[in-house]
Amino acid sequence: MSMLRNLATSLINAEKEHIVTTVPKAKELRPFVEKAITLAKKAQSLDGDDAKAREVHLRRQAARFFHAGNSTFKEEQSRFRGKKGEAKEPVERTAGVKAVKRLFDELGARYKDRNGGYTRIVRLGRRSGDNAELAVIELVDNPRELAAKG
């Protein structure tokens, strides 16, 4: 489960919206990521009085598909240990928080008219070291793909 969460976080946060992994991992990751995207897609169609509360519920449900990541503080980056009781100031959001934010803000809107099939697996061949079959798993309709079409 931890491996799937790491892969899902990497895929959603990836700038080019694809990652290279082995074929069995990609096949396991596909339904895992598509369920998270479906939750974001549901949030796009919410309306009514309790829409905000339902969106928060969907965000919390989607958060279980991603790793929270490690917290990063200024003190840890500069290797300075302050006195006990000093407030630590966070530097950046963790990877899981970024993934959920991107999922609901960007990907949910992108796939609101699509009924499933948000990912694509392309086989690459075998790795030279251990002869494992590699594959690229990517999000469909990504900006790079749309730029090549248009």
Q: Are strands 72-73 and 133-139 parallel, antiparallel or unpaired?
A: unpaired
Residue 33 is predicted with a pLDDT of 95
Q: How does pLDDT run along the chain (150 residues), one tens digit per residue? A: 999 999 999 999 988 999 999 999 999 999 999 999 999 999 988 888 889 999 999 999 999 999 876 655 555 444 445 556 565 565 566 888 899 999 999 999 999 999 999 999 999 999 999 999 999 999 998 888 888 887
pLDDT score, position 26: 97
Task: Please count the structural domains in the chain.
Answer: 1
What is the pTM assigned to this prediction? 0.80
Q: What is the CATH number of the domain that holds 121?
A: 3.90.1030.10
Domain that holds residue 121: 2-149
What confidence score (pLDDT) does residue 94 get?
80
